[in-house]
């Protein structure tokens, strides 16, 4: 049990409430004609969202209220006659109290009474169903399929199928809703197709667009062909290959020159360090030579003084003017002479070393000069010859590549033009062969077969006279009994067959459908 209507109340100011109490299961309401039985069905339908007022307000009755028992509580719904709002009071934790619109709508879906009724059978989210052959969509609503389970006094005797609403324009939507209840499939992802007028307008727009594209392509093609005539008549691929080879050779030479330059710089660094060392040593040699010269002069002065003093050994005291007897020290003179010779030899060796160092310095300076010149020549080769030539080659390569791209673009433009021309032809021929949504084709064979069997068994159980065959005709969505369509019978038989189909469908939905209203009213 998903839900059942426990009570129906019609009230008005100064009027005694009219109340009908129902129980879970089968409820049979009977009585003489014109005593209000039909009003019960009308009130239920009104609370389902119908626009048809169930009672003339001139009678003084203004409100319709129903109490619905659910799995988790009760819903009290109240609607003032003539208004499109339903006041809902809920003790069911899954359903919120508040005011709900009677019209099914995509906007603010969960504030419509449609969402409440659908949620009671497990459909908690909004779904769209296909409503015509062009895949147009509409919202799934309770009233899309409720006529299958509420057979009013006019509906029950109708020659028209109980599955259908009686309006041909809504048949696709009705069957789509049935398919959704059976399987949960809504086909909402299907693409909407356009009417003939819209399709013709779109074709015209597409044709105009393609023609504009063809004109634009032709202008570009003409521009490219003009540039192609100015281009040299040569084998571009071969030229590009040769230029690439020359570029590679020039880049190799530049790289070799750069490597050579780096080696020269490294050698220059070594030679400059060696030259700095030579200069430092020469400065030291000069200082040492100066020291040697000073030492030699000092020793020579000492030796000369000693020699001269030995010739005049007597001396006079500068103070007392008395004579002084001076004794010579031959060892001291000998030592000075020996030191003088030693320094003389060292000075000579230093002179030779200094001369050798000067020669080394000169050689280094010459090498540095040669390396600098070589470096300059290498740089000039790279900057004034190799790089300019490489730039020219690259510019030529760009020109040739542009020529190649231009020829490719011409080929692509031709291909595009051919495709656009084919698109125009396809656009013109794309007509009546378009895919249509045939809703009845989506009814499962198992459903039709089970319906046939169940209706046949039901009629047998009812002892239907001379029952030979029962066929559910998908084209009319109705039964054919013993080869005769339902419409060939009178109202009594129509009411009988319609009731059988409604009961069998209700049972089938309860047992096998994804979502079952589990609700049936026969008047």
Q: pLDDT for 206-236, tens place per residue? A: 777 777 777 777 777 777 677 666 665 667 7
pLDDT recorded at residue 232: 58
CA 507 to chain centre: 47
Answer whether 161's CB lies under 8 Å from 480's CB: no
Mean pLDDT of 247-253: 85
Residue pointed to by tokens 């590549």: 401
Quick check: 328 pLDDT over 60? Answer: no
User: Contact 114/77 with Cβ under 8 angstroms?
Assistant: no
Average pLDDT over residues 316-328: 65
Asked if 443 and 179 touch (Cβ cutoff 8 Å), the reply is yes
Q: What per-residue confidence (pLDDT) applies to 307?
A: 63
Closest CA to 146 of 272, 52, 237, 281: 52
pLDDT at 431: 53
Q: 139: closest CA among 147, 131, 127? A: 127
For residue 346, the model assigns a pLDDT of: 79
The pLDDT assigned to 140 comes to: 94
Chain centre to alpha carbon of residue 477: 45
Residue by residue, DSSP assigns 161-229 as -TTS-S-GGGHHHHHHHHHHHHH----TTSPPPPPHHHHHHHHHHHHHHHHHHHHHHHHHHHHHHHHHH
**What pLDDT was estimated at residue 194?**
56
pLDDT for 399: 74
Q: Mean of the pLDDT values across residues 449-456?
A: 90
Q: Report the interhelical angle of 330-380 vs 236-311 (nearest 10°).
A: 170
Q: Is the pLDDT of residue 319 over 80?
A: no
Residue with more model confidence, 370 or 221: 370
**Cα-Cα-Cα-Cα dihedral sign, residues 349, 354, 357, 363:** negative
Most confident of 140-154, 190-204, 220-234, 286-300: 140-154
CB 350 within 8 A of CB 302: no
Q: How far apart are CA 221 and CA 215, in angstroms?
A: 10
Inform me whether the pLDDT recorded for 435 exceeds 70.
no
Once rounded to an integer, what is the mean pLDDT over residues 357-366? Answer: 83
Vertex 50: Cα angle to 47 and 56 (nearest 5): 85
Q: Which of 189-198, 290-299, 422-431 has the highest mean pLDDT?
A: 290-299
| Long-range CB contacts (within 8 A, 24+) of 55-60 | 55/10, 55/81, 57/81, 57/82, 59/12, 59/15, 60/12, 60/13, 60/14, 60/15
How big is the CA angle at 123 (ends 120 and 126), to the nearest 5 degrees? 125
Q: Where are the alpha helices (DSSP H) in 65-122?
A: 113-119
Higher pLDDT: 482 or 50? It is 50
Residue-level pLDDT at 347: 76
Paired sense of beta strands 314-316 and 3-11, if any = unpaired
On whether the CB atoms of residues 164 and 157 are closer than 8 A, the answer is: no
Where b means 16+ CB within 10 Å and e means fewer, 383-404 reads eeebeebbeebeebbebbeebe
Who's near 21: CB < 8 A, 6+ residues apart? 6, 7
Q: What size, in residues, is the chain?
A: 523
How far is C-alpha 333 from the geometric centre of its chain's CA atoms? 108
Q: Please indicate, yes or no, whether the overall pTM of this predicted structure exceeds 0.95.
A: no
Question: What does 218-252 look like in DSSP terms, one character per residue?
Answer: HHHHHHHHHHHHHS--S-HHHHHHHHHHHHHHHHH
> Cα torsion at 317, 321, 323, 326 (round to 10°)?
10
pLDDT at 117: 96
Determine the longest span between alpha carbons in the chain, in angstroms: 190
pLDDT average, residue stretch 339-344: 77
Predicted pLDDT of residue 36: 83
| Higher-pLDDT residue of 342, 80 | 80
**Segment (H or E) for 68:** strand 63-70
257, pLDDT greater than 80 = yes
Compute how many other C-beta atoms are within 10 angstroms of the C-beta atom of residue 430.
14
Average pLDDT of the segment spanning 189-203: 66
Residue 64: closest CA among 42, 76, 52, 81:
81
Report the chain's mean pLDDT, rounded to a whole number.
83
- 483 — alpha (psi -120 to 50), left (phi > 0) or beta? left
- 4 near 68, Cβ under 8 Å? yes
* pLDDT tens column, 46-98: 999 999 999 988 899 999 999 999 999 999 999 999 999 999 999 999 999 99
More confident residue, 519 or 399: 519
Residue 326 scores a pLDDT above 70: no
Q: What is the pLDDT of residue 461?
A: 92
Single out the residue of 488, 460, 490 nearest to residue 473, CA to CA.
488
């Amino acid at each position: 049990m998903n839900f059942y209507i426990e009570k129906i109340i019609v009230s008005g100011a100064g009027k005694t409430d009219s109340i009908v109490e129902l129980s879970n299961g089968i409820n049979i309401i009977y009585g003489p004609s014109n005593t209000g039985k039909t009003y019960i069905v009308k009130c239920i339908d009104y609370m389902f969202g119908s626009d048809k007022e169930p009672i003339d307000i001139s009678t003084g009755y203004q409100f319709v209220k129903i109490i619905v028992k659910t799995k988790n509580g009760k819903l009290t719904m109240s609607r003032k006659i003539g208004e499109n709002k339903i006041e809902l009071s809920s003790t069911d934790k899954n359903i919120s109290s508040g005011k709900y619109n009677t019209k099914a709508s995509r906007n603010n879906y969960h504030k419509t009474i449609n969402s409440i009724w659908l949620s009671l059978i497990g459909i908690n989210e909004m779904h769209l169903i296909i409503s015509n052959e062009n895949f147009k969509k509409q919202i799934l609503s309770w009233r899309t399929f409720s006529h299958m389970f509420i057979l009013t006094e006019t509906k029950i005797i109708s020659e028209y199928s109980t599955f259908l609403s009686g309006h041909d324009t809504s048949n696709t939507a009705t069957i789509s809703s049935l398919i959704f209840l059976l399987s949960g499939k809504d086909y909402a992802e299907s693409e909407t197709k356009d009417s003939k007028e819209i399709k013709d307008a779109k074709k015209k727009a597409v044709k105009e667009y393609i023609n504009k594209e063809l004109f634009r392509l032709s202008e570009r093609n003409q521009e490219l062909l003009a540039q192609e005539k100015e281009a040299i008549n040569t084998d571009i691929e071969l030229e590009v290959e040769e230029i690439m080879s020359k570029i590679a050779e020039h880049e190799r030479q530049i790289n070799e020159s750069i490597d050579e330059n780096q080696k020269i710089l490294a050698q220059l660094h070594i030679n400059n360090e060696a030259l700095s060392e030579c200069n430092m040593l020469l400065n030291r040699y000069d200082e040492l030579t100066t020291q040697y010269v000073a030492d030699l002069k000092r020793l020579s002065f000492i030796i000369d003084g000693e020699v001269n003093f030995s010739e005049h050994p007597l001396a006079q005291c500068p103070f007392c003017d008395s004579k002084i007897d001076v004794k010579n020290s031959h060892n001291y003179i000998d030592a000075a002479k020996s030191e003088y010779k030693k320094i003389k030899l060292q000075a000579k060796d230093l002179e030779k070393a200094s001369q050798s160092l000067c020669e080394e310095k000169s050689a280094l300076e010459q090498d540095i000069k040669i390396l600098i010149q070589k470096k300059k020549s290498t740089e000039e080769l790279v900057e004034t010859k190799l790089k300019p030539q490489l730039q020219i080659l690259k510019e030529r390569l760009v020109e040739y590549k542009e020529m190649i791209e231009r020829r490719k673009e011409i080929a692509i433009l031709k291909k595009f033009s051919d495709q656009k021309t084919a698109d125009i032809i396809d656009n013109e021929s794309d007509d009546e062969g378009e895919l249509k949504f045939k809703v009845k084709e989506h009814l499962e064979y198992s459903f039709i077969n089970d319906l046939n069997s169940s209706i046949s068994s039901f009629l047998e159980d009812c002892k239907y006279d001379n029952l030979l065959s029962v066929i559910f005709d998908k084209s009319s969505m109705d039964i054919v009994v013993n080869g005769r369509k339902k419409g060939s019978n009178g109202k009594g038989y129509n009411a009988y067959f319609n009731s059988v189909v409604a009961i069998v469908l209700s049972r089938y939905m309860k047992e096998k459908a994804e979502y079952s209203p589990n609700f049936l009213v026969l008047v």
